[in-house]
Amino acid sequence: MSSLVPVLEARGVSKSYRSRHRSVQALDGVSLAVPAGATLGVVGESGSGKSTLARLLLALDQPTEGTVLYRGAQVSGRRERELVEFRRRVQIVFQDPMSSLDPRMRVYDLLAEPLRALAVPGDQGERVAELLASVELPADAARRYPHQFSGGQRQRIAIARALGPSPEVLVADEPVSALDVSVRAQILNLLASLVRDFNLTLVFISHDMAVVRHLCRSVAVLYRGHLVETGPTHQIYRSPQHEYTRELLAAVPRVRTERVRAH
């Protein structure tokens, strides 16, 4: 467990999607290392390849070129049965909790599924109760269905599900952009406190620089499939090197940034 080996790493990763008539290069030679304990924000506009990167980091999709490594071991291109430990250690929260929770499953089963699938030891019922408590949902939520919850509550359920196997890395793919503005701050604060309490390494994917500044100590800027800038958040804020980063920063309303920062 050398601290020098990044917990999650993308090495020269490219991904192109081919349709009948054309091929779209979603990611082009992206290299990114996430050290243990890091809170990394990946920012970029829609279409910049953020979600593709998330899928590749989770080994849910295979890169056309390059490799993804977990603690120095290659995970891209591996068979699913060799990835059990990786799946326990690296989890994901999706953007839209309306579509990321199976409408036919009760919350209990939604939260128990990862425990069953990954054979997580321990009492399932207790673990589900623990998970609900950790995302500040009442215990009786377990017997209800996703449609009986608000968007924010659903995202809490999705976060609880991701925490089930006690991962060390949480990849959050735009976890608040589908939510009402009024509940975004709550979910962000919840994520921040979970990262603190569980010592999570966070990869936070967002198009919103202000949110990233609030949650992440370092930032990687994606632009049209290229990684154009990486560095500590404060540095990138103070002296953005790339033109695109400056544009992204200019798009952040100042007053709001300061207020969020004050949390």
Partner 1 sequence: MTVVVVEAAGARSRAGLWRWARNPSAVVGGTLVGLVVLTALVSLVWTPYPPLAVDPSHTLARPSWAHLFGTDEYGRDVLSRVMAGSRISLYAGVVSVLVATAVGVPAGLLAAERGGIPAQVVLRLSDILYAFPALLAAITLSAALGASTTTAMLAIGIAFIPVFVRVTRSNALVVLGSDYVLAARAYGRRPLAILRRHVLPNIATTVIAQMSLLFSLAILAEAGLDYLGLGTTPPTASWGNMIETGQTYLSQDPLLSVWPGIAIFVAVLGFTLLGEGIAELRNARLGRSA
Which range in 135-143, 198-206, 237-245, 251-259 contacts partner 1 by CB under 8 A? 135-143
143 binds partner 1 (CB under 8 A): yes
Question: At 69, phi and psi to the nearest 5?
Answer: -125, 145
Give the containing element (helix H, strand E) for 261.
helix 254-261
204 binds partner 1 (CB under 8 A): no
Question: At 231, phi and psi to the nearest 5?
Answer: 160, 175
Whether the CB-CB separation of 70 and 86 falls below 8 Å is answered with: yes
Q: What is the spatial distance between Cα 17 and Cα 203, in angstroms, rounded to a whole number?
A: 23
Give the containing element (helix H, strand E) for 130.
helix 124-134
Whether the CB-CB separation of 10 and 68 falls below 8 Å is answered with: yes
For partner 1, the binding residues in 43-102 under the rule CB under 8 A are: 55, 58, 60, 80, 83-84, 87-88, 91-92, 94-96, 98-102
Least distance from partner 1 to the Cβ atom of residue 79, Å: 11
With CB under 8 A as the contact rule, the residue among 18, 21, 22, 103 that binds partner 1 is 103
Residue number, 148 or 235, with CB nearest to partner 1:
148
- Of the candidates 61, 68, 81, 80, the one whose C-alpha atom is nearest the C-alpha of residue 7 is 68
For partner 1, the binding residues in 154-173 under the rule CB under 8 A are: 154, 158, 161, 164-165
- Of the candidates 221, 225, 223, the one whose C-alpha atom is nearest the C-alpha of residue 235 is 221
The DSSP letter of residue 254 is H
Residue number, 66 or 114, with CB nearest to partner 1:
114
Residue number, 49 or 114, with CB nearest to partner 1:
114
244 binds partner 1 (CB under 8 A): no
Residue number, 87 or 242, with CB nearest to partner 1:
87
With CB under 8 A as the contact rule, the residue among 144, 217, 224, 242 that binds partner 1 is 144
Residue number, 92 or 236, with CB nearest to partner 1:
92
* 93, β-bridge pairs: 172
Look up residue 243 and give its two tokens: 């033109």
Whether the CB-CB separation of 58 and 92 falls below 8 Å is answered with: yes
Give the alpha-carbon dihedral of 171, 173, 177, 180, to 10 degrees: -50
Residue number, 139 or 250, with CB nearest to partner 1:
139
Least distance from partner 1 to the Cβ atom of residue 175, Å: 12
Q: Which residues bind partner 1 (CB under 8 A)?
A: 55, 58, 60, 80, 83-84, 87-88, 91-92, 94-96, 98-106, 108, 113-114, 117-118, 125, 140, 142-144, 146-151, 154, 158, 161, 164-165
